[in-house]
Copies of this chain bind each other. A is one copy, B any other.
Amino acid sequence: MAFLSGLSAFPITPSDPDGRVDTAALKRLVARLCIAGVDSIGLLGSTGTYMYLSREERRRALSAAIEETGGAIPVVAGVGALRTDEAVRLAQDAKAAGATAGLLAAVSYAPLTEDEVFEHFSTVARKSGLPIVIYDNPGTTHFRFTAVLVERLAQVPGIVAIKNPTEKPEEIASHLGRQRSATPKSFSIGYSGDWNAAEAMRRGADTWYSVLAGILPDVCLRLVRAAQNGDTEEALRIDASLAPIWELFKQFSSLRTVYTIADLLGVCRAEPPRPILPLAPLAKEKVAHCLTLLEQDLA
């Protein structure tokens, strides 16, 4: 089994308007993931608004979450930053706090070249000693990893996995095949884009990096287990029942939607960091309606 596999659940990081993390609320979110039995927790991912939190607040979030897991579930921590030295420090912090791996995106302001991203990743892996998951997220970073760059990075000691962005469903099998043949056997290959997870997992991806699992872990876990057990029919049935949620994600973004779900479920009432705004009342009603439908469908 690869270093990371199964369901990696990405919770939000509840914080107040000044950017101070609400560690009690974060612990409630993490406790739900532990009880559900997800395979890993993706802390301080894009959903966890890592780029909007200071180093100190990221440290507080990490230590609260890892305390809550009691070491029972691997924590993959977002360590991305605009500056290389800052990303190194964040990875060192994550290692010191007990994170299993660091999730590193090619965060950029000035557009970066392939060589710059290669140096950035190699430096963070080498100087931190923390196993690094390549976080390919062009939707936020606007950097696109080429197949050649992934192949180069996968040879770097300490770079152990990749979280791929959404692919078109019909292209996942061939994308996965090509990436598998270009990376070491132990290299873990996973996908985000919740709506393509069923397809990715049944095609043999190692990991589903899931936003929805951060707030609704049970249903996501059932999907992953069905796919892992070769029960494609069940995996696709669960995926179909989640289709209205995927539509919300596409319409309002997964980030804004899961903040609303956390509120509706009574888990926490946090709002995303400004300038990101919470969903408007009409959108919230739509989310509430979808949640009700989902409950009926899965009952």
Please list the residues of chain A having a beta carbon within 8 angstroms of any beta carbon in chain B: 17-19, 46, 49, 51-52, 82-85, 107-113, 115-117, 119-120, 123, 139-142, 253, 255, 272-277
Bound together, the chains give a CA A140 to CA B142 distance in angstroms of 9
Q: Is the CB of A109 within 8 A of B52?
A: yes
Q: Is the CB of A46 within 8 A of B109?
A: yes
Q: Is the CB of B140 within 8 A of A277?
A: no
Q: Is the CB of B109 within 8 A of A109?
A: no
Copies in the complex: 2
8 new A-B contacts at CB < 8 Å, known A51-B82, A110-B140, A119-B277: A17-B85, A19-B85, A51-B109, A83-B273, A109-B141, A110-B272, A119-B274, A120-B275
The binding surface of chain A is classed by DSSP as: loop
Q: Is the CB of B19 within 8 A of A275?
A: no
Shortest CB-to-CB span from A148 to chain B, Å, is 18
Contacts of A49 in B (CB 8 A): 110
Of all chain B residues, which has the CB nearest A107? B109
Q: Is the CB of B115 within 8 A of A277?
A: yes
Shortest CB-to-CB span from A280 to chain B, Å, is 9
Of the residues B46, B117, B139, B275, contact of A275 by C-beta under 8 Å: B117
Q: Is the CB of A275 within 8 A of B84?
A: yes
Q: A17-B85, A83-B273, A274-B85 are in contact. Are A140 and B111 (CB under 8 A)?
A: yes
